[in-house]
Amino acid sequence: MRLEGAHIAIGAESIITKVALWDRSFVLKTRPSKPYLIPAIDSSLRASRTSRECKGLNVARSLGVPTPAVHAIDLNDYSILMDYIPGTPLKQVASTLGSTTLGNLCYRFGRIIAKLHRGGMVHGDPTTSNLLITSNEKTWIIDFGLSEMNATVEMKGVDLHLIKRALETSHWDMQENMLSRTIEGYVDELGKEAEPVLERMDAIRERGRYH
Partner 1 sequence: MTICLGLEGTAHSFGAGIVSSEGLVLSNVWDMLRPDEGGIHPREASQHHAYLGPLLIRQSIDDAGISPKQIDIIAFSQGPGLGPCLRTTATMARSLSLHLGVPLIGVNHCVAHIEIGSLESGFNDPVTIYVSGGNSQVIAFAGGRYRTFGETLDIAIGNMLDVFGRHVGMRFPAGPKVEKLAKMGSTYHTLPYSVKGMDISYSGMLTSARRLFDEGLPLDDICYSIQETAFGMLAEVAERAIAHTKKNEVLLTGGVARNNRLTEILQGVADRHGARFHRVSPPLAGDQGAMIAWTGILQYGVGDTLEISSSGVLPKWRTDEQDIGWKE
The partner in contact with residue 161, picked from partner 1, Mg ion, ligand ADP, none with C-beta cut-offs of 5 to 8 angstroms by kind, is partner 1
DSSP assignment string, 90-124: HHHHGGGS-HHHHHHHHHHHHHHHHHHHHTT-B-S
With the CA atoms of 162, 163, 165 and 168 taken in that order, what torsion angle do they form, in degrees rounded to the nearest 10? 170
Minimum gap (Å) between residue 85 Cβ and ligand ADP: 4
Which C-beta is closer to ligand ADP: that of 79 or that of 130?
Answer: 130
Which C-beta is closer to partner 1: that of 22 or that of 172?
Answer: 172
How large is the greatest C-alpha to C-alpha distance in the chain, in angstroms?
58
The correct pick among 38, 76, 96, 135 for binding partner 1 (CB under 8 A) is 38
Minimum gap (Å) between residue 111 Cβ and partner 1: 20
List of residues 6+ apart from 112 with CB closer than 8 A: 65, 66, 131, 139, 141, 185
Establish if 130 lies at the interface with ligand ADP (CB under 6 A): yes
Which C-beta is closer to Mg ion: that of 115 or that of 123?
Answer: 123
**At 203, is the secondary structure helix, strand, or coil?**
helix
- # chain residues binding Mg ion, by CB under 5 A: 3
C-beta separation of 57 from 70 below 8 A: yes
Whether 125 is catalytic is yes
Q: Which residue in 125, 143, 173, 188 is the catalytic one? A: 125
C-beta separation of 147 from 102 below 8 A: no
Active site residues per annotation: 125
The residues that touch partner 1, with contacts defined as CB under 8 A, are 11-13, 34-38, 40-41, 44-45, 124-127, 129, 146, 158, 161-162, 165-166, 168-170, 172-173, 204, 206-211
